[in-house]
Protein backbone atom coordinates (compact mmCIF):
# COMPACT_ATOMS: atom_id res chain seq x y z
CA UNK A 1 0.00 0.00 0.00
CA UNK A 2 1.31 3.47 -0.83
CA UNK A 3 2.09 5.92 1.91
CA UNK A 4 1.14 9.59 1.77
CA UNK A 5 3.68 10.82 4.29
CA UNK A 6 7.07 12.39 4.57
CA UNK A 7 7.93 10.36 7.64
CA UNK A 8 10.85 8.05 7.05
CA UNK A 9 11.56 5.39 9.61
CA UNK A 10 14.39 3.09 8.71
CA UNK A 11 15.17 0.96 11.74
CA UNK A 12 18.45 -0.86 12.14
CA UNK A 13 18.25 -4.61 12.78
CA UNK A 14 19.05 -3.96 16.43
CA UNK A 15 16.34 -1.28 16.82
CA UNK A 16 13.82 -3.57 15.16
CA UNK A 17 14.81 -6.51 17.38
CA UNK A 18 14.63 -4.44 20.57
CA UNK A 19 11.32 -2.79 19.62
CA UNK A 20 9.91 -6.28 19.00
CA UNK A 21 11.21 -7.31 22.44
CA UNK A 22 9.60 -4.23 24.06
CA UNK A 23 6.27 -4.92 22.31
CA UNK A 24 6.19 -8.54 23.45
CA UNK A 25 7.47 -8.05 26.99
CA UNK A 26 4.89 -8.45 29.72
CA UNK A 27 6.75 -5.85 31.78
CA UNK A 28 6.44 -3.02 29.25
CA UNK A 29 3.93 -0.31 30.22
CA UNK A 30 0.99 -0.33 27.80
CA UNK A 31 1.59 3.22 26.52
CA UNK A 32 5.22 2.41 25.64
CA UNK A 33 4.24 -0.93 24.07
CA UNK A 34 1.63 0.77 21.91
CA UNK A 35 3.98 3.51 20.70
CA UNK A 36 6.73 0.97 20.00
CA UNK A 37 4.18 -0.98 17.96
CA UNK A 38 3.38 2.12 15.87
CA UNK A 39 7.06 2.56 14.98
CA UNK A 40 7.75 -1.14 14.47
CA UNK A 41 4.77 -1.76 12.19
CA UNK A 42 5.28 1.45 10.22
CA UNK A 43 8.84 0.31 9.56
CA UNK A 44 7.47 -3.07 8.44
CA UNK A 45 5.38 -1.30 5.76
CA UNK A 46 1.95 -0.98 7.36
CA UNK A 47 0.04 2.18 6.46
CA UNK A 48 -1.37 4.69 8.94
CA UNK A 49 -4.84 3.24 8.37
CA UNK A 50 -3.67 -0.31 9.02
CA UNK A 51 -1.80 0.70 12.17
CA UNK A 52 -4.81 2.67 13.42
CA UNK A 53 -7.12 -0.27 12.77
CA UNK A 54 -4.77 -2.83 14.38
CA UNK A 55 -4.06 -0.69 17.43
CA UNK A 56 -7.51 0.93 17.65
CA UNK A 57 -5.71 4.26 17.70
CA UNK A 58 -6.54 7.74 16.53
CA UNK A 59 -4.64 8.67 13.32
CA UNK A 60 -3.35 11.86 14.97
CA UNK A 61 -1.87 9.83 17.83
CA UNK A 62 -0.09 7.46 15.46
CA UNK A 63 1.20 10.33 13.36
CA UNK A 64 2.40 12.26 16.42
CA UNK A 65 4.50 9.34 17.71
CA UNK A 66 5.89 8.47 14.29
CA UNK A 67 6.83 12.13 13.78
CA UNK A 68 8.42 12.24 17.23
CA UNK A 69 10.44 9.11 16.52
CA UNK A 70 11.48 10.43 13.11
CA UNK A 71 12.43 13.86 14.48
CA UNK A 72 14.45 12.83 17.53
CA UNK A 73 15.76 9.42 16.64
CA UNK A 74 19.34 9.90 17.76
CA UNK A 75 19.89 6.26 18.60
CA UNK A 76 22.03 5.54 15.52
CA UNK A 77 25.04 7.37 16.95
CA UNK A 78 25.05 5.57 20.28
CA UNK A 79 23.79 2.09 19.56
CA UNK A 80 27.20 0.50 18.93
CA UNK A 81 28.60 1.93 22.16
CA UNK A 82 26.07 0.58 24.66
CA UNK A 83 24.44 -2.70 25.66
CA UNK A 84 20.87 -3.78 24.96
CA UNK A 85 19.55 -2.82 28.41
CA UNK A 86 20.81 0.76 28.12
CA UNK A 87 19.62 0.93 24.51
CA UNK A 88 16.10 -0.16 25.57
CA UNK A 89 16.16 2.57 28.23
CA UNK A 90 16.91 5.13 25.47
CA UNK A 91 14.04 3.76 23.37
CA UNK A 92 11.74 4.12 26.41
CA UNK A 93 12.85 7.76 26.75
CA UNK A 94 11.92 8.43 23.14
CA UNK A 95 8.50 6.84 23.57
CA UNK A 96 7.67 8.59 26.86
CA UNK A 97 5.45 11.65 27.16
CA UNK A 98 7.15 14.98 27.65
CA UNK A 99 7.02 16.43 31.13
CA UNK A 100 3.99 18.61 31.72
CA UNK A 101 3.90 21.64 33.92
CA UNK A 102 0.70 20.87 35.80
CA UNK A 103 -0.50 22.58 38.94
CA UNK A 104 2.12 23.47 41.51
CA UNK A 105 1.77 21.64 44.84
CA UNK A 106 -0.33 23.57 47.34
CA UNK A 107 1.77 22.39 50.27
CA UNK A 108 5.52 22.72 50.45
CA UNK A 109 7.63 19.78 51.59
CA UNK A 110 8.26 21.65 54.83
CA UNK A 111 4.52 22.08 55.48
CA UNK A 112 3.92 18.38 54.85
CA UNK A 113 6.62 17.52 57.37
CA UNK A 114 5.09 19.95 59.87
CA UNK A 115 1.70 18.22 59.57
CA UNK A 116 3.31 14.77 59.86
CA UNK A 117 5.30 15.91 62.90
CA UNK A 118 2.18 17.41 64.47
CA UNK A 119 0.43 14.05 64.10
CA UNK A 120 3.11 12.43 66.28
CA UNK A 121 2.73 14.92 69.11
CA UNK A 122 0.28 14.99 71.97
CA UNK A 123 -2.81 17.09 71.16
CA UNK A 124 -2.87 18.42 74.73
CA UNK A 125 0.49 20.13 74.07
CA UNK A 126 -1.53 22.39 71.75
CA UNK A 127 -4.39 22.89 74.21
CA UNK A 128 -6.63 20.59 72.19
CA UNK A 129 -8.93 18.71 74.63
CA UNK A 130 -8.57 15.26 73.02
CA UNK A 131 -6.24 12.32 73.60
CA UNK A 132 -5.66 11.33 69.96
CA UNK A 133 -5.59 13.34 66.75
CA UNK A 134 -8.30 12.89 64.15
CA UNK A 135 -7.83 14.05 60.58
CA UNK A 136 -10.27 16.86 61.31
CA UNK A 137 -8.48 18.04 64.46
CA UNK A 138 -5.08 17.86 62.72
CA UNK A 139 -6.48 19.95 59.88
CA UNK A 140 -7.85 22.54 62.31
CA UNK A 141 -4.56 22.77 64.21
CA UNK A 142 -2.55 23.01 60.98
CA UNK A 143 -4.77 25.92 59.90
CA UNK A 144 -3.97 27.67 63.20
CA UNK A 145 -0.30 27.24 62.27
CA UNK A 146 -0.92 28.85 58.88
CA UNK A 147 -1.08 25.64 56.82
CA UNK A 148 -4.18 25.35 54.64
CA UNK A 149 -5.01 21.64 54.46
CA UNK A 150 -8.27 19.70 54.43
CA UNK A 151 -8.94 16.77 56.71
CA UNK A 152 -9.09 14.39 53.73
CA UNK A 153 -5.68 15.65 52.53
CA UNK A 154 -4.30 15.07 56.04
CA UNK A 155 -5.50 11.46 55.75
CA UNK A 156 -3.83 10.98 52.36
CA UNK A 157 -0.62 12.59 53.58
CA UNK A 158 -0.42 10.34 56.64
CA UNK A 159 -1.32 7.26 54.61
CA UNK A 160 1.57 8.00 52.19
CA UNK A 161 3.89 8.40 55.17
CA UNK A 162 2.88 5.02 56.55
CA UNK A 163 3.39 3.30 53.18
CA UNK A 164 6.82 4.89 52.66
CA UNK A 165 8.05 4.08 56.21
Model confidence, pTM: 0.58
Q: From 60, 68, 10, select the one nearest 40 (Cα to Cα).
A: 10
d(C-alpha 70, C-alpha 11), whole Å: 10
pLDDT of residue 94: 85
At 11-41, the pLDDT tens digits run 888 889 999 999 999 899 999 999 999 999 9
Q: How confident is the model at residue 70 (pLDDT cuts 50, 70, 90)?
A: confident
Residue 12 · residue 79 · CB < 8 Å? yes
- CB environment 39-61: b (16+ within 10 A), e (fewer): bbbbbeebebeebbeebebeeee
Mean pLDDT of 86-96: 86
Amino acid sequence: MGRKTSIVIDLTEREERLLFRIINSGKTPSNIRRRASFVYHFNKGLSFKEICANEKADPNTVKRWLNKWDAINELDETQNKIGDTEFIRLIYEQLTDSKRSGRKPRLTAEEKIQVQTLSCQDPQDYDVPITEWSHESLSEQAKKMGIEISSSHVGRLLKKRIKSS
